[in-house]
Amino acid sequence: MPGVTDRVVIVTGAGGGLGREYALLLAREGALVVVNDLGGARDGSGSGHNMADAVVEEIRAAGGTAVANYDSVATTEGAQALVQTALDSFGAVHGVVNNAGILRDMSFVKMTPEAFEAVQRVHLFGAFNVTHAAWPHFREQGFGRVVMATSTSGLYGNFGQANYGAAKLGMVGMMNTLAIEGRKYDIKINAVAPMAATRMTADIASAEMLEKLPPAQVAPIVGYLVSEENTDSGMVLVVGGGAVQRVQLFANKAVLFSEVPTLDQVRENWSRITDMSDAQPGVNPAG
């Protein structure tokens, strides 16, 4: 039963919340886990070793194998050092779970460039930095599994999260291309939009709702996606509270104009242009 046994998997932001659950499950299933966490606050301020160390101790106490790493995924140097930790400790890297994240919520009118950039740096650049550092190793060994932590805030929007939503859907955009580029090397990339009670959601949803969303419920889906058995790539799954739901872009049949339409013709056809009743899964017309 190959699964994730002896696979070296990096989980970023694994010092708490969802990442901790991913790391615990992967280690239970026999993976060799690199537990990365900067150890800062929810908004990304501060740093420390405690969070990653505590999860590594927990894994080792349960008989699993793990090593800690405290680098920030937000820099290329940090991501290189993180992948190097996997290589130095276990001699390979087979999987990356891009889970590290911060929040800087504010309505768009109050959104500062700093708050916008800080969130891109951790989520979008973080996913790029770590995946990019692991990619040559994936190609060389003809195997790689990547999970992007996306969010319904990116897929559908959420008040006060223009920065976060942009980063999270950016990760899906990156995934779409990596799924194509990784095809011939058995590199599979998928995205999970979790819904779970963590410090990130502690003051966002009601206590009653959070009670139904233990983060452990998301972990088996992530575990499957990094396993050898998973042959799917480019999927988006919303996971939480016992539900697992695939989300996909659909496109309608298109309205064709034989000549450049006038504004009146656009107006007249608007209900047909926006009608999704005949929609099918979207495909790239250029590819």
Chain residues binding ligand NAI by CB under 6 A are 12-13, 15-19, 36-40, 42, 44, 51, 72-74, 99-102, 122, 126, 149, 151, 193-196, 198-201
Rounded to whole angstroms, the Cα distance separating 225 from 145 reads 7
CA distances from 274 to 157, 164, 255 (A): 19, 27, 9
Smaller CB separation from ligand NAI, 12 or 227? 12
Q: How far is the CB of 198 from ligand NAI (least distance, A)?
A: 3
**Phi, psi of 280, deg, nearest 5:** -130, 160
Smaller CB separation from ligand NAI, 65 or 120? 120
Smaller CB separation from ligand NAI, 182 or 194? 194
Rounded to whole angstroms, the Cα distance separating 276 from 286 reads 21
CB 262 within 8 A of CB 232: no
Long-range contacts of 178-184 (CB under 8 A, 24+ apart): 178/131, 178/146, 179/233, 179/234, 180/234, 180/287, 182/138, 182/144, 182/146, 182/233, 183/233
Rounded to whole angstroms, the Cα distance separating 16 from 198 reads 8
CA distances from 225 to 74, 76, 166 (A): 24, 25, 24
Smaller CB separation from ligand NAI, 216 or 273? 216
Q: How far is the CB of 255 from ligand NAI (least distance, A)?
A: 35
Q: How far is the CB of 175 from ligand NAI (least distance, A)?
A: 14
Q: How far is the CB of 161 from ligand NAI (least distance, A)?
A: 10
Rounded to whole angstroms, the Cα distance separating 105 from 14 reads 22
Q: Which of 22, 70, 156, 164 is catalytic?
A: 164
Smaller CB separation from ligand NAI, 30 or 241? 241
Confirm whether 164 is a catalytic residue. Answer: yes
* 282 three-state secondary structure: coil
Q: How is residue 217 annotated by DSSP?
A: G
Q: How far is the CB of 118 from ligand NAI (least distance, A)?
A: 9
Angle between helices 76-90 and 126-141 (to 10 degrees): 40
Catalytic residues, by residue number, are: 164
